[in-house]
Structures are given as C-alpha cells and as structure tokens.
Amino acid sequence: MKLMPQEIIAHKRDGLALSQSEVEQFVSGVVSGHFKDYQSSALLMAILLNGMTSDETGCLTEAMMRSGRIVELPEITRPKVDKHSTGGVGDKVSLILAPLVAACGLCVPMMSGRGLGHTGGTLDKLEAIPGFRTNLTDAEYRAQLASLHQAMIGQSADIVPADRKLYALRDVTGTVESIPLICSSILSKKMAEGIDSLVLDVKCGIGAFMKTEAEARQLAESLVAISARMGKPTSAILTRMDEPLGHMIGNSLEVIESIDCLKGKGPSDLMEVTYALSAEMLILGGIESTQEGAMTALKSAIDSGKALEGFRALVEAQGGDGTVVDNYKCLPRTEKTKDIVLNNDSQMYVESLDARSFGDAACILGAGRASTDSIIDPSVGIELLKKVGQAVQPNEAIARIHYQGIDLLEAAEARLVKAIKLSSKKPIVSSLIIDRISHENY
C-alpha cells in the first residue's frame, strides 16, 4: 500500500521497523522528488535516533543500489576488488593503494566520494591535480579498467542516484554517524560498481565518525554481514583515527604525500594502514595466499617504481597533468604559511593531536565543506611537523598552516593550539591496526 511520506516518517519516529515496501517507497521518492528534502531529512534524523534492524538496513542498501544503473564488467578478467574508508583526517590511502594493488595484479574499479563533515574526500584530492576528471563516461571507465586496471571516479548521475541526494543531506543535517545510513551509503555504491569483493577501513577514535572501538566493530560487522547477504566477500580492518594520518591535511598537500609514499618515502603510520588494506585486497582477490607473500609483492611494486608509474598513468588517463609525479609545482599551493609553536621552555613530547580539531581547522581554511555548496580551496591545509611520541624542543614548530585569508588563519590557529597536547613523558605509540573482521565468519 502506498503511504504518504509523513506516514513513513511517523513510523520510524515512533520506533517501528519499516517494511520493505516502505523502504522502497522512501528511496524511489527521494529519486523522483516525491519525498521533499525536508521530509527526507526528517526520516534521516528518525533513523539516526531510532536505528534500523539488519533487515531494514539490508532492504535500504538494496533499494538504493537498484535506484539506478548497476555496472557489470564481464570483460574484465582480473579480480575486481575495491577498498573503502569510513573517513578520517589526512586519509589519502586510496591514492596510494589503487595504483599499488593494480601493479600487483588486481583490477580496482574505485567509486569515491567527496569530503563529508571534517573528513577529506578522495575526489577533492584528485581534482587538486590540474585537469583531473572524475566524471568518466561508461565507455571511458571500461576502457581504462581494461588497459590500466584502475579507475577513480565519482558517482555518475545514473548510479545510485538516491545516495547522491541522501549523502549531501546527511552532511548538513547532523545525521552522518548513523550506522544503517553509513552501511547503505557505502555498500549501495560499492555493489553497483561491478566489484567481486571489498575491503573496508573502519576507523575509530577522535577523528572518526565512530568514536569507540565498540562502535567501529559494530559498524564493521554490520557492513561485512550485509555484504555477505548480497554475495560479495568483504573484510574489514579496524584502524585508529586519534591523530591525523600521515603528515599532510589538505588536498594538494595530500597529493604530494601520496606520491612520496609511492616513491618509498611515506610516513610509517600512513604506510602501515596502506599495506594492511592492500595486503587484504590481494588475499581476498586470490593474488596472494599469505600476508607475507602479499607484503613482499607490495613492497616490490614500490621499490621497482611500478606503482608510481601506475599513478602517473592513472592521472594522465583521466586528463590530469602527469608531470605532478616529478614536479609538485603544478599543484595549487598557497605562499602564505604560519608555524604553530607552543610555549614549552624545556624538551617535551607530543602526547596527542586531536584529529577532529585538525579536520575542522582544515575545513575553516577552505580544504573542506561547511555546506553542500561550499567551494574547496585545494591549496590550503595543515602540515604536521611533529607526530605523537616525537620530542619538541623550546620554540620548535609542531605544525604549519598553509592559508589564504588572515581571518581564516586566526580561526584555524585557535583550534589547533587547543588540539595539541604536550607531555614531559614520552607516550607509548600503538599500532594503528586494531583487528580484522573476516567475511568467513558470516
């Protein structure tokens, strides 16, 4: 029976489980415009507050996936494996991982998103490269996967159109953190892009949407279970996101750091996460059978330069300036910088770097979005000169702000000063890898 939007909203407001029909009516209404933005926002908030059962979440995921065209890639003979991160600060892993695992024998049909809240977006980073196009036609996408075995694109208008609308609304209505909405958003896109299997980076901590390990584990288990229900083997790696990943935050800055990683000069924390996810992809795709074999293959692809050349080929194939690999001057950069120095009068150690505050500060500078129509400034960002556990001498800079406007600088600087904590005792630095949730258990 067809229901009015307000009836479906009221059912979820009152804590009831929505039927498959109600979920499908909601999704089709979002696409057709029958559900107005204010009504969709009301239902999103009701879902955030009251949750969804696993059946509801599964129905929502499938309805969203079927709201548009589903890509099939029978002509691609390589294993098709993608990776997705639930979002963090300084997380540029996708830029390193795609050419890296493609160099090891996988095909990576990666459909990525833009910045959401305080977290950066893969598409925004890539578009910092002059000329880079993320809106490939279907023919271009298929041809590139066949020749380069990798492509990094945004959602076309006809793939999961329901998520395009809901994703934007979640960002500006305080409904980002809902596990059912996260699951359906991630998996509807991934299942529509023609993959065989999927690896997830589920983050927890100050800079993640899931603040605790328990929340992240719940999300990871839900994602893996729904994927299994849909016939796509999926593994999730739980990782920490308490301090920014790597040293760079901001679009051009993160492109530079990604290329440095492919040249074998990446920071240890960023490479730890990249290697863990990449190794899982090689194993899930059947290229390697052990962690040891996967790590050997990955490091060889970097040492030989094969992964770096794969990134250059990816950039050039999608219209970007491939000389970025050799010369970072083609990237938009600001000439204005200011160092953050705290008033320690003796040697101290970095105890913590609040990742959320760093992400918010980057947004203030213009590296992220405050609203759906915000314009990204690819040149601005923050450079971490010190990481947790490192010593800080008197008058030594801990971070460097790359900025354009003095008013934005002052607002960002105020947040960063509060986000940095020093200690006289050197803290213990833990591995960023917490656990692995395998599809074999579902």
Active site residues: 84, 163, 170, 185, 189
Enclosing H/E stretch for 340: strand 336-340
- HSE-CB of 171 using CA atoms within 13 angstroms: 24
Distance CA 153, CA 144 (A): 11
Cβ 18 vs Cβ 12: under 8 Å: yes
The three-point CA angle 172-174-176 to 5° equals: 95
Closest by CA to 385, choosing from 339, 428, 431, is 339
Structure tokens at 154: 């945004």
Cβ 393 vs Cβ 346: under 8 Å: no
Distance CA 66, CA 88 (A): 28
Distance CA 181, CA 196 (A): 23
Strand partners, 423: 349
Distance CA 22, CA 35 (A): 12
Look-up of token digits 């992240």: 216
Give the length of the chain: 442
- Strand ranges across the sheet with 420-423: 391-392, 348-353, 420-423
First-to-last C-alpha distance (Å) of the chain:
34
Burial of 294 (0-12, 13-18, 19+ CB in 10 A): buried
Phi, psi values for residue 123, rounded to 5°: -65, -40
Count Cβ atoms below 10 Å from residue 150 Cβ, excluding itself: 24
Reading phi first (left if > 0) and then psi (alpha if -120 to 50, else beta), residue 328 is in alpha
Strands 248-249 and 381-384: antiparallel
